């Protein structure tokens, strides 16, 4: 599930659990899904995680004197913090044994996730060519970015080097809230709509984080609560439709999204 809001919830979870405890041992279960450059996960043994950060869908765990961890989850993935003695979760890529009788697991069911070991988070941000985080860019930056892009709006929102953090689910949600069709050409979006797009982008992402990403806790008129073909639109009498945009399924209401 991990788009910006999911990863932000994970980040906050880690900030409240794993920081400042010595890392006693790191067990790597899927060495092919660890990307060490330079150093390796074992370099974290004896260190402790001291800080968390996030850029788009990437989560960072910085250690005191050792390397910085970059976590990416792919389409399925999460982190889990649990007591020593409890069973390790299935599909753990790596397990960190901490000094406080707890463990941290990085989980990726479909193995599309990855653990990066880097000197500092900026190294990975540069390497992956990540654009500004969707929650931290201001309106002028956003408008400038749109001015420089062509093509379909949904594709632009999902391009991580343009804006980092928005994926398939939340791009649909933002467009649904603004009332723009997913295939709408950027060039055909007027100034008022561009500003609304910026506001709704922030609004939707913040709302999802506050709801801890639970659709039940999000507003009733959110698309995420009715994301299936034929469902009734939460805003009018339209019916939710599913189409392909850039190879991904896009859900929208033809009634109010033009």
Partner DNA sequence: AGTACCACCTGACGGC
Partner DNA sequence: TGCCGTCAGGTGGTAC
Interface stretch with DNA, choices 43-51, 80-88, 194-202, 239-247 (CB under 7 A): 239-247
Q: Hey, how many other C-beta atoms are within 10 angstroms of the C-beta on 242?
A: 13
In this chain, which of 68, 104, 163, 213 binds DNA, going by CB under 7 A?
213
Q: What is the C-alpha radius of gyration for the chain, rounded to an integer number of angstroms?
A: 20
Interface stretch with DNA, choices 61-69, 99-107, 144-152, 189-197 (CB under 7 A): 144-152
- Residue 11 touching DNA (CB under 7 A): no
- Residue 248 touching DNA (CB under 7 A): yes
Task: Cite the beta strand spans of the chain per DSSP E.
Answer: 23-28, 34-36, 49-55, 58-63, 68-72, 78-83, 92-98, 102-107, 114-118, 241-245, 248-252
Q: By CB under 7 A, how many residues form the interface with DNA?
A: 35
103 is catalytic: no
Interface stretch with DNA, choices 16-24, 115-123, 145-153, 190-198 (CB under 7 A): 145-153
The residue from 55, 57, 103, 226 that is catalytic is 57
Left, alpha or beta for 247 (phi > 0: left; psi -120 to 50: alpha)?
A: left
DSSP symbol at 147: H
CB-based burial label for 114 (10 Å; 0-12, 13-18, 19+):
buried
- Residue 2 touching DNA (CB under 7 A): yes
57 is catalytic: yes
In this chain, which of 167, 179, 181, 182 binds DNA, going by CB under 7 A?
167
In this chain, which of 8, 18, 56, 70 binds DNA, going by CB under 7 A?
56
- Residue 205 touching DNA (CB under 7 A): no
Q: CA 127 → CA 50, 77, 212, distances in Å?
A: 23, 22, 30
Q: How far apart are CA 124 and CA 195, in angstroms?
A: 31
| Residues of this chain that bind DNA (CB under 7 A) | 1-3, 5-6, 56-57, 72, 74-75, 90-91, 109-112, 128, 149-152, 155-156, 158-160, 167-169, 213, 242, 246-249
């Amino acid at each position: 599930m991990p788009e910006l809001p999911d990863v932000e919830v994970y980040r906050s979870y880690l900030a409240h659990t794993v920081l400042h405890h010595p890392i006693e041992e790191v067990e790597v279960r899927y060495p092919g899904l660890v990307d060490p450059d330079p150093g390796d996960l074992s370099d974290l043994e004896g260190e402790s995680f001291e800080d968390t950060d996030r850029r788009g869908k990437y989560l960072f765990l910085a250690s005191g004197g050792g390397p910085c961890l970059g976590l990416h989850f792919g389409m399925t993935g999460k982190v889990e913090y649990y007591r020593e003695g409890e069973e390790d979760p299935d599909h753990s890529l790596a397990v960190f044994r901490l000094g406080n009788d707890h463990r941290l697991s990085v989980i990726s069911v479909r193995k599309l996730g990855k653990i990066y070991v880097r000197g500092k988070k900026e190294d990975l941000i540069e390497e992956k060519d990540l654009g500004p985080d969707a929650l931290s860019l201001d309106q002028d930056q956003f408008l400038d970015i749109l001015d420089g892009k062509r093509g379909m709006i949904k594709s632009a929102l999902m391009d991580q080097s343009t804006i980092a953090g928005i994926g398939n689910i939340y791009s649909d949600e933002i467009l649904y809230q603004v009332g723009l069709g997913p295939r709408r050409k950027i060039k055909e979006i007027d100034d008022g709509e561009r500003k609304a797009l910026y506001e709704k982008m922030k609004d939707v992402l913040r709302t999802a984080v506050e709801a801890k990403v639970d659709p039940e806790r999000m507003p009733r008129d959110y698309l995420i609560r009715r994301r299936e073909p034929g469902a009734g639109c939460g805003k009018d009498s339209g019916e939710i439709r599913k189409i392909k945009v850039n190879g991904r399924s896009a859900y929208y209401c033809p009634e109010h999204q033009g």
